[in-house]
Copies of this chain bind each other. A is one copy, B any other.
C-alpha cells in the first residue's frame, strides 16, 4: 500500500546519499542528468507547478517548426498495454512566437533549455537553426529528424542515413559552431548504428534515442484505425527494452558519443538502466502523463540508487554495464548461499 506513495512527488524519505549528479554531453555540462522528453513537457511551464523545473538537468521543449502548426485531427492518442500511441502532428506556435513566449519565460525562470526543432524540408531545419542563433538562452538543440520529408514522398528523415545526415548538416552549418547538437533518432530502422555514424559525421555532437516506435490501434467498435492519423508513435514502458537495446548498440559502436536516452523511463532504476547501458543523460516522456512530478522524482530515486551501489559520481556509472567481465567477483563460489 505504501508503495503507491512513490508517486507522491520528489520528497525523499531518507537523507539522500551524496552523489555528484552532474553530467557532460560533449560541450554541454548539466548539473543533473534528468531531462524532459520533447513533446511531453510543452515548454516546462505547466510542470513547474508540480516540481521546480530548475532542479533537473534541462527542459527539452516540444519540437518547434518554422510556422504555426495546427497538428492533426483527433483522436490523437490511444492507450496501449504499458504504453500509448500518439499522433499529434507537431502542433505548435512556430519559431517566432516560441522564442518570444516560451523561451523568454524559460530564461526568466532560470531553467536550462534544449530546444527541439523539426522541419518538413532540409531547408526548414537550416532556417530554424539560423533563427535560434540569435537567442542566448539555448543550451543545446535537439534535431527531431523523425519527420516526414515532404520533398521525398514523406519518407522520414531519420530512416535513411543520407537524409538524416542532410538535416544535421544543414543545422550544423547554420548554428553557432559551439552549439551542442543532438540528433534525435527513430528506432524504426534496420541498423541504428549506421544512422548514428551518418549524423555524427554530419556534425551532431550527440544523439537522442529513442523517438517513438511506429504503431497502430484498430478501434474494435468503429472497426477503423483509432487515430485520425492512422498510425502513431508508441511510447512508454512498453518500449523500454527497445530503448535500452538501442543505447547499448550505439555505446558499443561509439564509446565516446554523448547519448541522451529515453523511452519508457518511469523509475530511478529505469534511469539507472539507461545510464549503465551508456546514456549520459535521461529524458522522461510518457511517464510525465502518469505522474507530472516524474522527472524530479526519478532524479531523486536515481541518486538514491547510485548511492546504494556505491557510486559517488553519476559519471562513473555511465556505460558501466559494458565493463569487461570479472568472473571471480561475480561467480564467487563462496557466497552466502542461504541468503533467502
Contact = CB atoms under 8 A, between A and B. Distances in A.
Nearest to A83: B238
A81 B245 contact: no
Interface string A168-198: 0000000000000000000011110000000
A264 interface: yes
Interface string A211-237: 001111110101111000011101011
Given A223-B309, A238-B238, A242-B234, A277 B216 contact: yes
Contacts of A273: 217-218, 220
A6 interface: no
A231 B218 contact: no
Interface string A145-175: 0000000000000011000000000000000
A220 B270 CA distance: 9
A241 B190 contact: no
Contacts of A189: 189-190
A189 B241 CA distance: 17
A178 to B, nearest CB: 33
Contacts of A242: 213-215, 234
- Number of this chain's copies in the assembly equals 2
A83 B80 contact: no
Contacts of A321: 218, 223-225
A223 B320 contact: yes
A330 interface: yes
A282 to B, nearest CB: 13
Contact of A215 (B160, B215, B236, B245): B245
A80 B220 contact: no
Nearest to A188: B190
Contact of A223 (B232, B245, B276): B276
Interface string A53-87: 00000000000000000000000001011110100
A274 to B, nearest CB: 8
Interface in A235-252: 236-242, 244-245, 248
A259 interface: no
Interface in A113-139: none
A305 interface: yes
Select the residue from A83, A190, A222 with max chain B CB neighbours within 10 A: A190
13 contacts: A81-B236, A85-B241, A188-B190, A190-B190, A213-B241, A214-B242, A215-B241, A215-B242, A216-B277, A217-B273, A220-B273, A223-B321, A231-B245
Nearest to A186: B190
A272 interface: yes
Interface in A20-51: none
B223 A244 contact: no
B244 A276 contact: no
